[in-house]
Amino acid sequence: MNTAIYPGSFDPVTYGHLDIIERSAQMADHLIVGVLKNNTKEPMFTVEERLEMLREETGRYANVEIRAFDGLLADFARDCGAKVIIRGLRAVTDFEYELQMAQTNRKLAPELDTIFLATDLRYAYLSSSIVKEVAYWHGDIRAFVTPYVAERIREKI
């Protein structure tokens, strides 16, 4: 696996994402974390803020690069020279959508393959939406995100 892409919204990055990044960075020579700009969902953080948080949390990995992208993931992968997309699978409920995305991406760019990593059991329930929901109601989010990200969420709220 030379260059791989781990794409997502990362609004914001959670311990679940960081676990996938750490594991993928051990498998790929170069891992590009692609942050989607043109998300249809209304994000809590701007793309610059999401990039900043990811850079802060992944700075210790020499082969990890954080980049924003717009438009189709298949085009971004081509521009990056990546042939592998990495996605985390939490539960069987993720599978249908993920399979559809993987197959669409292969149709758009036949040289692209998607590799699914099983989310660590510690983070199986975790999503950025859940973190924002708990934070909104002033719940404890320390088990979900790093102290730095938790502070950024608190500032927003």
Task: Return the number of the residue (17 or 152) whose C-beta is nearest ligand PNS.
Answer: 17
Which residues are registered as beta bridge partners of 66? 33
Q: Which residues in 6-25 contact ligand PNS (CB under 6 A)?
A: 7-9
| Closest to 135 (Cα-Cα) out of 123, 124, 144 | 144
Task: Return the number of the residue (30 or 37) whose C-beta is nearest ligand PNS.
Answer: 37
| Closest to 73 (Cα-Cα) out of 45, 115, 96, 104 | 104
Is residue 103 within the footprint of ligand PNS (CB under 6 A)?
no
Tell me whether the omega of the peptide bond preceding residue 12 falls within 30 degrees of 0, making it cis: yes
**The one catalytic residue among 17, 50, 87, 152:** 17
Specify the amino acid at residue 65.
E
Is residue 51 within the footprint of ligand PNS (CB under 6 A)?
no
- Which tokens is 151 given? 């502070």
| Closest to 83 (Cα-Cα) out of 116, 111, 115, 117 | 111
Active-site residue 128, yes or no? yes
Least gap, CB of 153 to ligand PNS (angstroms)? 17
Stretch that binds ligand PNS, among 3-11, 25-33, 53-61, 135-143 (CB under 6 A): 3-11
Give the residue numbers marked as catalytic: 17, 41, 90, 128
The site for ligand PNS (CB under 6 A) is made up of 7-9, 36, 72-74, 101, 104-105
